Chains A and B, each alone.
Chain A
Amino acid sequence: MYSFEFEKPSTIADAVAALGAEDAQALGGGQTLIPTLKQRLAAPSKLVSVSGIAEMKGVCVEDDGSVAVGGATTHATVASEALGSYPALAALAGQIGDPAVRNRGTIGGSIANNDPAACYPAAVLGSGATIVTNARQIAADDFFEGMFSTTLDEGELVTSVRFPVPEAASYQKFLQPASRFALVGVYVARFADGVRVAVTGASEDGVFRWSEAEEALNKEFRADALMDLRINPANMIADLHGSKEYRAHLVSVMTKRAVEACM
């Protein structure tokens, strides 16, 4: 690792101030960032830990029924505390990494990094969540901008994520055997006003909504409704673990399974 300063503020305001320094970077749980630093692939001047900011931690149900997850909330906390209010989200959080990683990794860190194979972006986009930062609120549809890229500005901090709770939802993850990230992960959420289908792990452009599947499921929310749907493999990731065609196929299978799990 290159040398950096470390700061651990206890309020959002102090964190934002600290992030104003040149090349400062927020540190969530560090489960991806620290390995990146070890490889010397990043050289922040300062890491601003959000782990001491109480107002960024925890899961709560808002007046409108949505579930708000603090940006510094660990996956383990979401897996247990969202169990009653948003079970599909809790289940997804419980599948990220491994237990020790879940005890450190945070939702804010995960979505700000926007790894194309991460689980959380699927839930955020699939739920049509709102990303709340120190400066503004961003709709999930506007937040993810492709592999490792979001609309967050320099120094902007994800303070919480607000999830509307669907009538039914399920995340189906097919494991990449080495990293245990998603080779393909599909989040299906059925709301009163429509179905959202978000796919992670598959595309060169990162998490995306499969609109054809949404249309089909809006007509008829049954796995059979997807029978003739195929996603174009052209934009899929091809690597050691699967071809474009295989990923495209898995998108269909995982979507179907997610719909079945919603029944």
Chain B
Amino acid sequence: MPKDSGIGASSKRREDVRFLTGAGNYTDDINVHGQAYVHFLRSDIAHGRIKSVDTSAAEGMPGVVKVFTGKDFEGVGGMPCGWEVTDKHGAPMQEPPHPILAQGKVRHVGDPIAAVVADSLEQARDAAEAIDVDIEELPAVIDMKAAAQDGATLVHDDLKNNICYDWQLGETDDAKVDEVFANAAHVTTLDLVNNRLVANPMEPRVAVGEYKRGTDEYTLYTTSQNPHVIRLLMCAFVLGLPEHKVRVVAPDVGGGFGTKIFHYAEEAFCTFAAKACGRPVKWTSSRSEAFMSDAHGRDHVSKIELALDADNNFIGLRTNTYANLGAYLSTFSSSVPTWLHGTLMAGNYKTPVIQVNVKAMFTNTVPVDAYRGAGRPEATFQLERVVDKAARELGVDPIALRRQNFITQFPYDTPVALTYDTGDYNGTMDKLEAAADLAGFAARRAESEANGKLRGLGVNCYIEACGIAPSNIVGMLGARAGLYDAATVRVNATGSISVMVGAHSHGQGHETAFPQVVADMIGIDESMVEIVHGDTSKIPFGMGTYGSRSLAVCGSAMVKATEKVIEKAKRIAAHLLEASEADIELKDGQFSVAGTDKSVAWGDVTLTAYVPHNYPLEVEPGLEETAFYDPANFTFPAGAYACEVEVDPETGRVTIEAFTAADDFGNIVNPMIVDGQVHGGIGQGIGQALLENCAYDENGQLLSASYMDYAIPRADDVPFYGVDHSSQTPCTHNPLGVKGCGEAGAIGSPPAVVNAVLDALNSGGKAVDHIDMPVSPSRVWAAMNS
């Protein structure tokens, strides 16, 4: 029976009411009295040396408050990178400066050169047109392999080359890897591209900076997934402000998908300019501006090689990847192609020898950073494509080949630095085979063929490392932050509860799901518990929401804090019931003495905590507890996905006919929300596989610079999805046994789609090995006719 409240119930989302009635409070809905507007003059060329920026005409234009250029920020810090990767020779990564406004050079189309603050946005735009910029254009560095050559044009003149780092994970002895491949019965090799994407949350980024002269306090309202991280980075590395003087608020945020994790120059600018101008300063990104200023995602070019023995066991895996970092290091960019990618190359398989090689490149493109999945989709795509190709080459069933190589014993230490605590990959695959009715595929294919269409089935597995992350481990790997989280459970006198959490909800439904946990633990109605998030002045601390971490990490902190509250409440109850604390039980909101009918209600205990007339003297009044939780390990959600496509052989057009996901997320708090997260992830994965293509020309001009050329999925691009979450191996090391579900769909779905398209083409007699994403009609047609 489905539960109707608490952990495991599909409670309806309480936040929906405000969103459905137009009562949300997004950053652009915030207007501060007296605010001015900033417009950034952005480079329209990819690479050039700034010879002069003459703002004199602009300064006198109507409504102009102040015009800023890179010179105004010469004494100010640059945008920091939060993760120092060490290359395979032991050297730290090359880390160029990233000024708020360009200094010396522009390095990508969209690089801000100047900023005009004016009474109105149109006045700011008018004045920006009057700024005279003289730039000596330089050759654009776009192609990663060319950028890695000796003598290539340098994106950053002070660096020795364009390679940020040359990194390796797994087997360090090249000879040993060579030997495995030399002795293999079969080697499958695949060159592939993981296409550059733009996250495109529907809400563009916004920042409003405010400065109060009387108290020397700053407030930044911003579209962020992690307001405390923004405050920390901006105060400590950019503006040099004490944190207690800076409040960062991320109110309702219209989707993030990773791209709102990072600290952006516009946030620091608005904060800085609010003081410099003596007025609040607001910036609202247009969508066109977002395409050239939001950090992009993915953009890997890889070669992957899989070695198999005569019995089709995987015996070795080697990858060589070029990862695009763009022109500057965005906040977590360096960690994505390395520790979030290389560590996942074992996938669900017990391959004993793995070597991952990654060269991370600077190019004259928008910075690249985490986008839903962040590194893990890139790993999964390589692995699940090469396994599928191997199955085709060997003439074996791709599911059987996967099953044969599954890890079945846990805990399992991979050759690429992770320890999987638990999982059941065969069990999850069983669920998929049933849910997707794979047995009925042949009949469906026959039906499609009768209609002149080719039908294909693609299946793949995935594993991800979520619940990011144990601070001691990530610290050793180069992270410049801890990745714990925090929660304060504040019980009010009458028993209602405010929970201040460091996680940030921007679509994930925390305001509904988190109270389900606390209410369940105490046995009270969910409506008595409310979540407070998104404001550094209200919550203790928080590392925010990304990496499918909110419930696994912040939720665990919340559980710990609630446990402390319950423990203290039991002491108060024991006093009221004149019993031993050890005998007190809490159930359904009642404290009772074991084995008796004596009890006291939750509300009576909480009232006593705040009106401590009859009270244990050794206990402090009040009922509020904070807990920080640092995970002991990553969590390892895993699953198996199936996609069925039809291909129109005349046009190459691919339609998704069915998509089924079987995921193992461990325990689930709100199944409705979890299913919704998977739907959304699959939608984005289908978008990557079929539609989305962030492309530059050889001069560094962005070809997909608006929705006119960048296709995100529409309702008629996708079907209803089947999802099955009944395979559950609870996480062994967090109190809820939860693993995280936010990224799975985006990680697991692209290879299923591509595998399905290739299956369809091969069923039609076209021996096509691979098509790079997006598998657009034109690419399918070209592959069929090559």
Contacts and interface: CB of A to CB of B under 8 A. Distances in A.
**Do A and B come into direct contact in the complex, CB within 8 Å?**
yes
B709 A179 contact: yes
A249 B785 CA distance: 11
Contacts of A177: 690-691, 711, 717, 776-777
Nearest to B652: A246
Given A3-B122, A39-B288, A246 B782 contact: yes
Contacts of B709: 178-179, 239-241
Contact of B704 (A183, A240, A253): A240
B26 interface: no
B781 interface: yes
A179 B707 contact: yes
18 contacts: A2-B122, A38-B286, A40-B125, A174-B653, A177-B691, A177-B777, A178-B691, A179-B707, A239-B703, A239-B709, A240-B703, A240-B704, A240-B709, A242-B776, A242-B777, A243-B782, A245-B782, A246-B778
Contacts of B695: 240
B17 interface: no
Nearest to A40: B125
Nearest to B286: A38
Interface string B110-143: 0000000000001001100100000000000000
A17 to B, nearest CB: 29
Contacts, number: 53
Nearest to A252: B650
Identify which of B122, B651, B653 gathers the most chain A CB atoms within 10 Å of its CB. Answer: B651
A240 B693 contact: yes
A178 B650 contact: no
When A and B form their complex, which 5 residue pairs have the shortest distance between CB atoms, in order from nearest?
A178-B711, A242-B778, A177-B711, A246-B778, A179-B708
Contacts of B122: 1-3
Contacts of A249: 781
Contacts of A246: 777-778, 781-782
A3 B120 CA distance: 13
Contacts of B714: 180
B610 interface: no
A248 to B, nearest CB: 11
Interface of B: 122, 125-126, 129, 286, 288, 650-651, 653, 690-691, 693, 695, 703-704, 707-711, 714, 717, 776-778, 781-782
Nearest to A253: B650
Interface of A: 1-3, 38-40, 174, 177-180, 183, 239-243, 245-246, 249-250, 253
A14 to B, nearest CB: 29
A162 B288 CA distance: 38
A38 B129 CA distance: 14
Interface-central residue, A39, A178, A243, by most chain B CB under 10 Å: A178
Given A242-B776, A242-B777, 18 more contacts: A3-B122, A39-B288, A40-B129, A174-B651, A174-B653, A177-B690, A177-B691, A177-B776, A177-B777, A178-B710, A179-B708, A240-B709, A241-B776, A242-B778, A243-B778, A246-B778, A246-B782, A253-B651
B707 to A, nearest CB: 6
B779 to A, nearest CB: 9
B350 to A, nearest CB: 40
Contacts of B651: 174, 250, 253
Contacts of A250: 651
Contacts of A40: 125, 129
A14 B122 CA distance: 30
A180 B777 CA distance: 14
A170 to B, nearest CB: 16
A178 B777 CA distance: 13
A40 B710 CA distance: 21
Contacts of A179: 707-709
Nearest to A184: B651
A249 B708 CA distance: 23
B117 to A, nearest CB: 19
B633 to A, nearest CB: 41
Contacts of B704: 178, 240
Contact of B708 (A3, A178, A242, A253): A178
Contacts of B693: 240
A14 B129 CA distance: 35
Name the residue among B703, B711, B782 with the largest chain A CB count within 10 angstroms: B711
A164 B782 CA distance: 39
B716 to A, nearest CB: 10
Contacts of B703: 239-240
B715 to A, nearest CB: 11
A88 B691 CA distance: 29
Contact of B707 (A1, A2, A178): A178
Contacts of B710: 178
